[in-house]
């Protein structure tokens, strides 16, 4: 066994080439670049020239070469489960790019196969879990510092994409080629963080518009209301046509509140007592003083502002390093691969709710969703339907 984990990159496009550079620049100390696979001969030549590693046009050949200990799947969304299963079948550790897949049925197959290989590491590139701001927010929530969550709201519309972006490749924003729009391509990190921090909802009702402000088949405007089953609710709003864009995440608890702006700064309010106790302890005179702005805020709450410096690329590089250290030293994974199901399942439920026009449980029928997806793929008439 070498001192470093030899990573094979499957797909040397924007993401794959970025990971290669991180490794070459020493940002991932426990990892080295073992080999690269890409169908494009020009990209293979670029990888070989820049990094002096073996290159392949067939990822299975790379898996069988003995050149890699682990791989990362920088391939189209539909291929993530297929490629990851093949890697695990060859006893190679695997880091899956987000999303874990397009529909829950294929992700369940991947998770089941990974569970049959307990000695191998299976992770997903949820790099935002390595963002120190969101790690701190999760610590605060998990420790009960704002009490029981009552409501959460995330408006994340910083995904503006002009029509030229969608026109750049025939597969973009298609059901058969990409599997969806903003929920599948741009917002998976927020769908993951939302559930990672606030918990997994039970039901969702969604209003989704397809080709609302762009000439595309898939969703570019989403409003989803989720129900956690205990009275708590959440709202998720995302779009790709807001030129200015907003990124605001609010978590209201019965003992405080967190407001995150632009994924950079969080304001944490901690009540001196649970909200109902404060309410019960106020008489009419206190209420009048409150309305007049005369009540001492310090008697009600304290506030803290949290902000971290985060160098570009550090979050991705940190997930790669965590993956490598988990392989070499058994350290816990920041983002276990099985967690990829959570975001895919919620995105599927949002789609299905909008197609059916009703509330959908997160335990929806995977075959029903796949049939509805396949109907849209067949209507496009470009790509084969899925199984």
Report angle CA 41, 47, 48 to the nearest 5 degrees. 90
Indicate whether 181 and 283 sit together in one domain: yes
The enclosing domain of 39 has a CATH number of 3.40.50.720
Segment 37-56 mean pLDDT? 97
DSSP one-letter code for 333:
P
10-43: pLDDT as tens digits: 999 999 999 999 999 999 999 999 999 999 999 9
pLDDT score, position 2 = 64
Tokens of 353: 């709710």
Neighbours of 272 (CB within 10 A): 14
Segment 288-315 mean pLDDT? 90
Beta strand 70-73 with 5-10 is parallel
Tokens of 335: 């983002």
Indicate whether 65 and 149 sit together in one domain: no
Terminal-residue alpha carbon distance, the chain:
39
Report if residue 385 sits inside a domain: no
170-219: pLDDT as tens digits: 999 999 999 999 999 999 999 999 999 999 999 999 999 999 999 999 99
Indicate whether 321 and 292 sit together in one domain: no
Indicate whether 214 and 190 sit together in one domain: yes
Residues 99/188, Cβ–Cβ less than 8 Å: yes
Neighbours of 199 (CB within 10 A): 17
Give the chain's domain count: 2
Report if residue 386 sits inside a domain: no
List, in sequence order, every beta strand (DSSP E) within 188-255: 203-210, 219-227, 233-239, 247-253
Indicate whether 332 and 183 sit together in one domain: no
Instruction: Give CA–CA dist 226/359, Å, rounded.
Output: 9
What element of type H or E holds 2? none
Indicate whether 320 and 304 sit together in one domain: no
Neighbours of 63 (CB within 10 A): 25
333-344: pLDDT as tens digits: 999 999 999 999
Report if residue 159 sits inside a domain: yes
Indicate whether 225 and 293 sit together in one domain: yes
Indicate whether 134 and 247 sit together in one domain: yes
245-277: pLDDT as tens digits: 999 999 999 999 999 999 999 999 999 999 999
Q: Which of 86, 72, 61, 87 is nearest to 19 (CA)?
A: 72
Give the position of tokens 């971290």: 308
Domain that holds residue 218: 130-309+343-380
pTM for the model stands at: 0.95
Tokens of 262: 């632009």
Residues 341/100, Cβ–Cβ less than 8 Å: yes
Tokens of 2: 């070498």
Indicate whether 290 and 319 sit together in one domain: no
Indicate whether 295 and 203 sit together in one domain: yes
Report if residue 296 sits inside a domain: yes
Indicate whether 51 and 85 sit together in one domain: yes
Residue 325 φ then ψ, to 5°: -70, -30
Segment 209-233 mean pLDDT? 98
Indicate whether 376 and 304 sit together in one domain: yes
Asked whether the predicted pLDDT for residue 1 surpasses 60, the reply is: no
pLDDT, averaged across the chain: 97
Question: Is the C-alpha dihedral spanning 193, 198, 203, 205 positive or negative?
Answer: negative
Residue 10 φ then ψ, to 5°: -100, 100
Residues 311/127, Cβ–Cβ less than 8 Å: no
């Amino acid at each position: 066994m070498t001192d470093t984990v030899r990573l094979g990159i499957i797909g040397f496009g924007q993401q794959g080439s970025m990971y290669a550079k991180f490794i070459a620049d020493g940002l991932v100390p426990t990892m080295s670049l073992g080999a690269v696979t890409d169908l494009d001969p020009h990209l293979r030549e670029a990888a070989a020239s820049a990094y002096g590693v073996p290159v392949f046009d067939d990822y299975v050949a790379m898996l069988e070469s003995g050149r890699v200990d682990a791989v990362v799947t920088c391939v189209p969304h539909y291929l993530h489960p297929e490629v990851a299963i093949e890697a695990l079948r060859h006893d190679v550790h695997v880091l899956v790019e987000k999303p874990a897949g397009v529909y829950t049925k294929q992700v369940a197959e991947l998770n089941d196969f990974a569970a049959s290989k307990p000695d191998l590491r299976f992770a997903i590139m949820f790099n935002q879990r390595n963002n120190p701001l969101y790690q701190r927010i999760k610590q605060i929530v998990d420790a009960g510092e704002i009490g029981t969550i009552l409501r959460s709201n995330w408006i994340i519309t910083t995904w503006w994409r002009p029509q030229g972006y969608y026109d750049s490749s025939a597969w973009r924003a298609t059901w058969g080629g990409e599997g969806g729009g903003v929920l599948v391509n741009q917002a998976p990190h927020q769908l993951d963080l939302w559930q990672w921090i606030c918990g997994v909802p039970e039901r969702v009702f969604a209003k989704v518009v397809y080709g609302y402000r762009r000439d595309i088949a898939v969703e570019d405007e989403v409003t989803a209301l989720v129900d956690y089953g205990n009275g708590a609710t959440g709202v998720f709003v995302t779009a790709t046509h807001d030129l200015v864009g907003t990124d605001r995440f609010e978590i209201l608890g019965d003992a405080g509140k967190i407001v995150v702006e632009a994924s950079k700064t969080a304001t944490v309010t901690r009540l001196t007592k649970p909200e109902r106790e404060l309410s019960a302890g106020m008489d009419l005179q206190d209420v009048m003083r409150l309305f007049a702005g005369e009540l001492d805020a310090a008697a009600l709450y304290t506030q803290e502002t949290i902000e971290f410096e985060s160098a570009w690329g550090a979050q991705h590089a940190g997930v790669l390093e965590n993956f490598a250290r988990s392989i070499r030293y058994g350290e816990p994974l920041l983002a276990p691969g099985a967690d990829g199901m959570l975001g895919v399942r919620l995105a599927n439920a949002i789609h299905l709710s909008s197609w059916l026009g009703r509330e959908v449980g997160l335990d929806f029928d995977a075959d029903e969703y796949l049939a509805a997806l396949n109907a849209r793929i067949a209507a496009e008439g470009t790509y084969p339907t899925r199984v």
